[in-house]
Every structure is written in C-alpha cells, then in structure tokens.
Structure 1
Amino acid sequence: MAIVRFFVRLFALIGLLLVAGAVTVAVLVVRHEPTLPDAVVLDLDLTKPLAESDSGKIGSLFEHQTTLREVLDALDGGRRDPRVKGVLARFGDDSIGFAQTQELRTAIERFRASGRFAVAFAEEYGGAGAGNRSYLLASAFDEVWLQPMGTLGITGLSAELPFARGALDQLGVQPNFAQREQYKSFAETFTKSGMTPANREMMEALVTDLGNQLVDGIAKSRRLAPAMVRAAIDKAPLLSKEALDQKFVDRLGYADEARDEALKRAGAGAEAMEPADYLSVAGNPNGKGPTIALIHAVGTITGGESGKPALGGTSAGSETIVDAIEEAADDPDVRAILLRIDSGGGAVSASEAIRRALVRARQSGKPVVASMGDTAASGGYWIALAADRIVASPATITGSIGVVAGKFAIGGLSDKLGIQWDRVQGGRNAGMWSPLRPFDDSETERLNAIIDDTYANFLQRVAEARHMTPEQARGVAKGRVWTGAQARELGLVDDLGGQEQALTLARTAAGLSPDAPVTLAPYPPPKSMTDQLLDLVAGKGELVGALAAVAELRPLLAHLRPLLAAAQADGVQARMPAMTLER
C-alpha cells in the first residue's frame, strides 16, 4: 500500500507540475505587460466566506479564495487610486461573519468618503436562510439593489445550541466532564438535554446585544428610525416591493443591470476587476515602509502545526504560531507584531505556549497588538492577554474565561457491541484517561485539581494583563461569553475596531506616525507552490486534506464539527460553547 500511495502522489505531482507550467506560460503570454484601465470598478464577490489568511499558491490553481485582508487592501488602495471610481459587490446569504461584516462596513465607509461610489446587488439577501449580516454590510453602500422576486431576509438573530445527551445515552456513551464555572457551557453539549439557566441568560444577552448592533447599523446607514428597522425585522422576510417601499433598497433590477449601471457611473472604458487582479497590478497599499509582522491564529488551538483537518475547519497549531512569533521577534526589520485571532479556543497547553512566545517577543522590544476577528474566546482570549493592546469588533465573540476537561466513556457502547475488555494496572490512576470507563474517585480528585489550578492561572493572567484585582477578574470570568462591545465596557479589551484600527495602534507602538506607510508582512509567509507540491508527495498539506473531504458532506460537517472536535480533544481545554447564530 505504501508503494501504491507513493506512485499516486508521484503521478499527481507530475500532473500538477504540467498544469502549473501550462498556466505559467499562458500568463506570461497573455499578460506580458500588466496595466490598469483608466477607470476601474472593484468587483467584490461577497456571496462566499472570506478567509482570514492566504492558504498558498497551489489552492489558487483550482479556485482562489478571497481573503478579508485582500478586500481591505483593495478598498484601501482603491480609495487613493484615481483610476478606481467605485465598487460593485454581490451578496447572498450570511456567509461572512459578524465581526468581518463590521470591518468591511468601516472600509466601505472610508472608500465612499473619498468620493467614490459603492453599489450592492443581491438576487436575495438570505434566501432560504437568514440575510442579516449580508444586508447589514450592503446597507453601508450608497446604492442597494435587489433582484425582482427576491426577498430581504433581515429576520433578526437567534441562537441554536446542540445537546447530544439523549443520543449518547442511547449509544451507551457516558460523558465525563468537569467545568469552571457556571457559564462555561461547552461540556453541557454532551451532559445536558437543554440550556441551563446560566447558559440561557448568557445566550439571551448575546443575541440582544448583537441584535441591537444589527438594528443600529442598518438604521444609521439607511437613515431610518430604529423602530422602523425593528418593525421590518418582525415582518421579514420582506418581498422585493416591500423592501423598496420601506426604503431598505434603492433599486429593483438584475445583476447585468446593476453591473451596467456601475460601469456607466465609472465612465467610458471602465472595467470591473476583482481584488486579487487589481492588487497584482496596482500593488499592495501596505507594501512599502517599515515592516509589521502579521501573524494569524485561526481555528481550534492545538499542538503541532497549523492546518486543515480532514473533518473540515482549521487548526491553529502552537508550533507553527510560536515559530512565526520567534522569527518576527528575531527579525531586525520587524517593528511590531499584529496578531490576528479568530479562534474559539482549544488546548490550554498550546494556548500557553503561544502566550509565552508573545511575552518573549515583547521583552525583546517588539510591541504586540491583538486584533480579534469573529471569535477570540477562551484559549483565543488567553493568547490575546499577552498583547500590549487588544482590539475587538463590537460583534466579536470573546471572553469565555473558564476551563473544561473530561472524556467520553464508551464502555456501555462496547458492551452493546459484544466487546469485552480486561486490564491490569500498575498505578492508582494509570487508567485515568481510558475511554472505557468513567473516572473513579481518585481520578476525579486529580481531574478537579488540574482544572482548579488551570482556572486559577487563567484568572491570574487576566488580572495581571487587564490590571484587575482577582475578584474583578473572576467577576467577568466564570466562563461567560461576551460581545466585543460588552468586553470593552468590562475592561477585557482596549479598543473597538478592525484590523485597520489595530494596524494604526501597531504603527504608534512602533514609534511611527498613525498613518505611516508600512509593509504588512505575513509570518510565516504563505508556502510557495514548490513547497506545497513537495508536501503533496509527502502525504501532507492542505490539498491532501481537501481531496480527502467529500464535498457533499461539508454542510453537515459544519454543524457537527463542534461535536466531533470535542470527541477528539485531549487534555484540559479552554473552549467556548458550541453555538450557531442566526439559524
């Protein structure tokens, strides 16, 4: 089998090299002297998720996934470029996160303030699902289009939490978990059949605050009374004519009509260009000047290398991130570190390794500014504590300062399958992590000791980093999840804003003017095509995981991922609860 796998990878490599060579030749022939037209309309596809970081060149051979940074750079460069006249964006469902939506709204507002136009179009905002975030972003554009027969799905926010206790009982699987404290509800997914009062209180507060942000944002952008927006939410989904009559959209029309109108506004000879194509010719607006290292911590925090597991999602590997931090700290050209976090947490040991590397970077004279994305909770918040300043979007999900640990005991399932086990043991707690049985009294005592010590250390780090007393730290902890706006009021973050606000603070921390030109350099740099092809031959890398995934299962895996990830988790975890907003 090993020989077969080797030849499969070898032939795949040869094929990919041939494809890469053909693509390279075609590019050199077709685009020998890349230039920009006199009039450009930036063409944004916001119907798909925006990646937080670049996955490398090999993936772009098949399909380029636009990154948030790419869109922000295109809008920032475009508002300074006289050739760029406006932007045309296509919307769909709520595929873009709440915090990313707020970052993009701010970027669009800056773009419009430079005298350029912004046109938004959607066949429907939401369709069979919610369109709250999609329309919230579209409302920041000066002209909002909706296709006739389309709907406006601003149905408001809700939160759905899975509870698998009944299924586990039927299977004979016994969840054995302990948590600190009452709001740390991650384990309740497996130990309860519904929300506890504390969990419900927390979720209601989240939905209320995010709902207020949704209403206020739409009301401000569309110059509508908040009461009118709330009334529309209670009636939604709105028919296209209703949305037009109530001034939520400006035009009813089709995609070709919106595109023609945008190009007409841009002037004769105008062409639409996607962000990657525009930046490849115009250059990155953050590509000159002193270097600020951009380091991403995206996905579940684990030991080892960052990657994309076969079950989907992304892992933020401590080895990869620590190496990047150390490389940036040792580079004399790097003036500061911008740490972008989008993580609901993970392994405590891995989170602590990353935090320690950031502390050492600061001790070496490199300021660190943390920028929180859609989520920076539990272990994600743990690593943010090492930053000089923490910046969160108002809708960022953060906090979850608590600890959970445990295991699933599958002895009952094994019995049902007719599988018997026997054992010998050389120490009182030698079988503590055995999946066959629950913890006994001695093991439970050790588990609680570990959790208590970890939680005490978490609280101490919060108190020291946020200049709180231990009592104040515990008061905002207890495993509770907060929005970025709530966290700012509680002193858990310093500023509200996105990456641009964090970058401004990084410049200042580095001794530069707030608007000084800088080179925003990713650490580690995206792998070259050659390196990724070598990974393929070695049986690792993102493409291997992608080929192993079945496309039809991805929607299901998106819902099951929190459950599957928990079943695979080892050791003490600092994770936020599993939740799905707006379903």
Structure 2
Amino acid sequence: MKQFWLTFFGSIAGVIAGAILCVIFVIFLIGGLIGAALESAAPSDAPALPGRAMVLELDLRTPRLDQPSASPFAFAEPLSIVELSQALERARTDSRVAAVFVRANTVSLPAAHAEQLHTLLARVSEAGKPVIAHAQGFEGGSVLPYFAVGGADEIWMQDSASFTAVGLSVETLFLGGLFEQFGVQPQFVQFHEFKNAADTLTQTGYTEAHREATLSWLNSIHDTALAAIARSRGADPARLRELVEAGPYSAEQALDLGLVDRLGHVAAARQSVLDRAGPNARLVDIALYHRQPASPAPAQAPVIALVEAQGGIVTGASDSGLGGPVIGGDTLADAIDAAASDAAVRAIILRIDSPGGSAIASDQIWDAVMRARQAGKPVIASMGATAASGGYYIAAPADRIIAQATTLTGSIGMYGGKLVADEALSRLGLNLDPLYVGGEFTLAQSPAQSWSEAQAADYARLAEDVYEDFTLKVSEGRDMPLARIQQIARGRVWTGAQALELGLVDELGGFDAALTSARALAGLSETQRIRLQRFPARPEGLEALQALFGVSLDTVQSAQALNQLLQSPQAQTLLREQARLQAQGAELTAPTETPR
C-alpha cells in the first residue's frame, strides 16, 4: 500500500513538474519572440558592415528552404536558396567583398540547390574574388555536396576525413506487402504507368516503368554534376568521371588525384582565405550581409513582383505549420492578382518548389497566371528543386519557364484512390458498417468496402478527365500539339535538362536567370534600377508576432516606445535621482492634474 501511494503521488508530482517546465519554456519562447520582434521593428543596431575587405562566410551544413519561410520563427532559419542567390549576386560586384569562405555539406542536399550554389560560387570566382571551400569529408556516397562547392577556387578537406562522393542513389519504401499482411487493400487509378507515387502504396517493389524513369533522372543529375565539376576545375570530363566513380578514397588519395586541392582543418582554411583577402580582412556571416543591403532603389523604380510557391498545393490558405509550408490556392491566386493589378509591377516571377497536390487548387492558380498575362504582365516561372505534377501545372501557362538542369519537373499525370480497411478492422474485432442514401457513388471514398464495378468505372472516368484537362492546358501553355504532350507526359518525372530537350521548359538557370528574363520581358535594361517586391508582403517582426499570438501591434509598439524612453539619458538621470531621494526617505512624483 505504501508503494502504491508513493507511486501515485510521485506520478502527480511528475505531471505538475512537467507542466511547470512547459509553462517556463513557453514564457521563454514568447519572450524570445517578443525580443526578436522588437529588434526587427526598432532601428537596426546590428554591427555595421566593414567598409572594405569582407570575407563572406557561408555554412552549407544546415538544411535550408528554397524560399524564405513565412513562419514567425523564420528569424532563426538560415538564408533560403533565393536569398543566397540575391546575396552572392550582389557580392560578385560589391567592391567591399574580397572573398567567400564556404563550409561544405558533408552528406547530401537537393540536387537543384547544389547546382545553384555551384553556379553562384563559380560566378563569384570568375569575378576575381577567391572562393575557398572546406569540407570535413564528403560522406554518404552522394556526389551532390561535392557538386555544390565544385565552383570554388580551392577545395580543402580535413586530412582525417574520407572522400566517398561517388554517385547518387534513392531508396523507395514500398508498402504493398505490409498492407497485404494486415488485410488492407489499396485501390488506386493512375494516369499513366509513370505516375509512380501510387506504386509505393500498391507494389512491393519497382515496376519496370518506375525503375526506368527513376534511373533516367538519376543519370541525368549525375551527368550534369560531373560535367559542371569538370568544367569548373579544368578537368577532363571522362577522366573525372572515372576517378569519382572508382572511389572511395582517403583524404591523401583524393589530394593526390586532384579531387581536392589542400588538406587541413577548418581553422587553417579560414585563415588562408583571410590572408588572400588582405591584412584588414574581416569575416562576415552572409546572413548579416544579406540583411544589410546596399542603397535601395528609388521609390519610383519599376517593380518586379516575386510570388513564391513552396510546398504541397492545397485548397484554401497557405500555411507554414510544423509539417512544413503548403501552397494555398486562395493565397497564391490572390497574390498573383494583386501583383497583376499593381501599376508599378512590370513583370511577375513565380518561384516554384512543389511536388504538386490538389488539382483543383492548381487549376485555380493556373487561372490567376492566365489573368495576369491577359492584364499585360509577363509571368516567368522559376523552378527550384522540384516543380512536378501540380507544380508544373501552375508553371505551364507562364510566358517563360526556367528550370535548373537538375530540377525534378514534369510528372504530368494524376492518381487517386483509397485504402480499403474492412478486413484489417475485422481482424481486430471492429466492424465499420456504412449506411447511405442517394447515388451509389456516395460510398466510393469509404474505407469500409471495395469499389463496385460502377464505382470503379466512375472514379477512373473522373481521374481521366483531370488528366486530359492537365495535358490540354500544358499543350496550350507550351504551344505544342496535344498528341505530343500526351506522348511525353504519362506521369513521368524529368530533370530540367531533359525537360528542355522535350520543350517543357525554355531555359536552364536559377533565380538570377529568372530575374534577367523578367527584365527582358518587361523591357528593362540590365543596368536599370528595379525594386524586387514580394506579393504578398512577408510579415516580419511585430506583424509576425501578432499573427502567431494575437498580440496587439499597438501594445507591442507601446512597449517598444516605453523601453526606448526609459533608456534615454534624461530618463536614466531621473531614475537615479529618484533612487537617491528614496534612500533619504523622500519620494519623487509628478503633480496631479485636476479635471476642470
């Protein structure tokens, strides 16, 4: 009995202690957010950038998004690929920037991110500014981290590390066998054989079509990576391929074979780049450099609108929740409409990083792009790591589509269905027993029973309608015969390089290429000052805090103003005098105003 009460009261004490810790954590979290909000809203007191001889430091070891997050917690995130593109392009012509130092990713990163970073670093190097990269090994078998820093002037590697950047691989988890064991029956339709997302639910391994498509885009990315590395390092492409694929190597072997340039720890590599930059050179984090931009363009400068689409596509509003960002059809369509109706906007860049999602929401965004074009605003689709299925759907009507050579795109197809769980539930002694009124299709999506012949036929017909509409709109957007689109679609994923050959994209390049294209379509010269404006405007600081917690903007601004007042020299003098008088038994008060 004594043990019971000890356990009982111990459990209660544990719950109370846990609750207290949670409350303390939330208080600190809110306090941190308020502090960050006040800091971003107040006049910047961040350390000023040095006037010259900056060495920008870029750490690629932390995963980063393609586009800046709209989350209130975005202040804690590393710069996105779009922001890095802007920062490194500015650094290329900024006389204050003497060099760039890069901490390499050691395992892997998205292929298109690696390609964009490679290109940006190579452009900085071509501008005569040394780019030094340091890796604590190239591990995990993937060539992509090596690809990302392959545009640097020098690649250092820690001498105790290894070089295993020998190729590319994917691992696909198939659930068909698991469902069979538990009595779950997957029922799906797919248009067509290459729309292999459904295969992971229905199969126990790769189908021939799935294997063919996957190996095709893997080879395309691998070829692009090796060709770019060879070009930047002045190596023979065939010889470089032979060397890379014959790995792994120790650090000393990688140095002897010319795969890296120097061995040493990160401190030595950092000092090396500082020495090359000059005696007064100073390291500056690239995020600080990006957040303290050069003089802004004049208010009357023409505007290039940037509309960002990141995540799965859903109906309704966009969101940046714990599950990652999603693209809401309402939010994105409204943003495109707002940009199209703004007289100052000369062109629209639609930046896409999406595997697809809702066909209905995709069509809603497609319609907004069409309206923008009809309003006379050129639309340039800029593809990030992925612009597939619905991600390609929303790009299709653009005036120009620009993708990285390694972007995963296409997947022009659709699939849908359900998991029938009646047998699985019955094994647990459960019975999901449906009742319905109305037409037979009422229960088509129910997990309680398999499709009847009529339901299966109706579902397939609806899915085929979506596929035909998708291919028709791609045909119209790309100005290609429908028969040709249907031949190359079939749900197949292509790389950007393959998509260029097929006519599904117009140009290979990153965000910088999209900006150049937007200028051209808007009739603006390369040297003309422009304003790049996000639609919708991204909430920052106080606005983000208000959106997260419902805190009144006036309340937080009043707190900020009070804080600034109390920090003034006059207020500090009064406070010190009050403390002195209180110590002598006196009190300092303001005179009372009498209403009259």
Q: TM-score if structure 1 supplies the norm length?
A: 0.86
What count of residue pairs does the alignment treat as equivalent?
529
**Do the aligned partners of residues 450 and 144 (structure 1) sit closer, same or farther apart at CA in structure 2, a change above 3 Å counting?**
same
**Do the aligned partners of residues 85 and 14 (structure 1) sit closer, same or farther apart at CA in structure 2, a change above 3 Å counting?**
closer
Residue of structure 2 equivalent to 1:573: none
Residue of structure 1 equivalent to 2:65: 51
Residue of structure 1 equivalent to 2:136: 123
- CA distance in structure 1 between the partners assigned to 2:168 and 2:303 by the alignment: 40
- CA distance in structure 2 between the partners assigned to 1:347 and 1:27 by the alignment: 37
- CA distance in structure 1 between the partners assigned to 2:36 and 2:186 by the alignment: 54
- CA distance in structure 1 between the partners assigned to 2:387 and 2:33 by the alignment: 39
* 1:210 pairs with 2:221: yes
Contact 1:504 1:515 survives alignment (8 Å): no
The structure 2 residue matched to 1:258, chosen from 269, 278, 282, is 269
* 1:439 pairs with 2:451: yes
Once the 2 structures are TM-superposed, how far is the Cα of residue 217 of structure 1 from its aligned partner?
1.5
The structure 2 residue matched to 1:65, chosen from 78, 87, 104, is 78
Residue of structure 1 equivalent to 2:89: 76
Correspondences of 1:384-399 after superposition (within 5 Å): 384-399=395-410
Residue of structure 1 equivalent to 2:542: 530
The structure 2 residue matched to 1:273, chosen from 269, 284, 290, is 284
Amino acid at match of 2:129: R
**Do the aligned partners of residues 445 and 355 (structure 1) sit closer, same or farther apart at CA in structure 2, a change above 3 Å counting?**
same
Contact 1:93 1:130 survives alignment (8 Å): no
**Do the aligned partners of residues 535 and 503 (structure 1) sit closer, same or farther apart at CA in structure 2, a change above 3 Å counting?**
same
- CA distance in structure 2 between the partners assigned to 1:518 and 1:152 by the alignment: 44
Once the 2 structures are TM-superposed, how far is the Cα of residue 485 of structure 1 from its aligned partner?
0.7
Once the 2 structures are TM-superposed, how far is the Cα of residue 446 of structure 1 from its aligned partner?
1.2
Residue of structure 2 equivalent to 1:313: 324
2:352 is paired with a residue whose SS is strand
* 1:324 pairs with 2:341: no
Contact 1:131 1:152 survives alignment (8 Å): no
Contact 2:356 2:391 survives alignment (8 Å): yes
- CA distance in structure 1 between the partners assigned to 2:297 and 2:62 by the alignment: 25
Amino acid at match of 2:119: T
Once the 2 structures are TM-superposed, how far is the Cα of residue 22 of structure 1 from its aligned partner?
7.9
Amino acid at match of 1:78: A
Flag as ranges the 4+ runs of structure 1 deviating above 6 A: 8-11, 25-30, 284-288
Contact 1:294 1:339 survives alignment (8 Å): yes
Contact 1:37 1:270 survives alignment (8 Å): no
* 1:161 pairs with 2:172: yes
* 1:148 pairs with 2:159: yes
Residue of structure 2 equivalent to 1:460: 472
Residue of structure 2 equivalent to 1:359: 370
* 1:403 pairs with 2:414: yes
- CA distance in structure 2 between the partners assigned to 1:171 and 1:342 by the alignment: 36
Once the 2 structures are TM-superposed, how far is the Cα of residue 384 of structure 1 from its aligned partner?
0.4
Higher relative contact order (CA 8 A, sep 6+): 1
Once the 2 structures are TM-superposed, how far is the Cα of residue 314 of structure 1 from its aligned partner?
2.6
Contact 1:90 1:120 survives alignment (8 Å): yes
Once the 2 structures are TM-superposed, how far is the Cα of residue 28 of structure 1 from its aligned partner?
7.4
Task: Give 5+ residue unaligned stretches, structure 1.
Answer: 540-583
Once the 2 structures are TM-superposed, how far is the Cα of residue 309 of structure 1 from its aligned partner?
4.4
Contact 2:401 2:505 survives alignment (8 Å): yes
**Deviations along 1:28-74, whole A, 9 cap, x unmatched?**
7993773424210010011122222222584255x232111221122
Structure index of larger Rg? 2
Contact 1:306 1:320 survives alignment (8 Å): yes
The structure 2 residue matched to 1:224, chosen from 235, 238, 261, is 235
**Do the aligned partners of residues 83 and 360 (structure 1) sit closer, same or farther apart at CA in structure 2, a change above 3 Å counting?**
same
* 1:475 pairs with 2:498: no
Once the 2 structures are TM-superposed, how far is the Cα of residue 77 of structure 1 from its aligned partner?
1.4
1:332 is paired with a residue whose SS is coil
- CA distance in structure 2 between the partners assigned to 1:348 and 1:470 by the alignment: 19
**Quick one: percent identity of the two aligned structures?**
37
**Deviations along 1:257-301, whole A, 9 cap, x unmatched?**
011111111112211111221133343788983211111111111
Residue of structure 2 equivalent to 1:552: none
Q: TM-score if structure 2 supplies the norm length?
A: 0.84
Task: Give 5+ residue unaligned stretches, structure 2.
Answer: 1-18, 552-596
Contact 1:410 1:436 survives alignment (8 Å): yes
**Do the aligned partners of residues 456 and 148 (structure 1) sit closer, same or farther apart at CA in structure 2, a change above 3 Å counting?**
same
Once the 2 structures are TM-superposed, how far is the Cα of residue 516 of structure 1 from its aligned partner?
2.9
1:72 is paired with a residue whose SS is helix
Q: Give the CA RMSD over aligned residues.
A: 2.5
1:462 is paired with a residue whose SS is helix
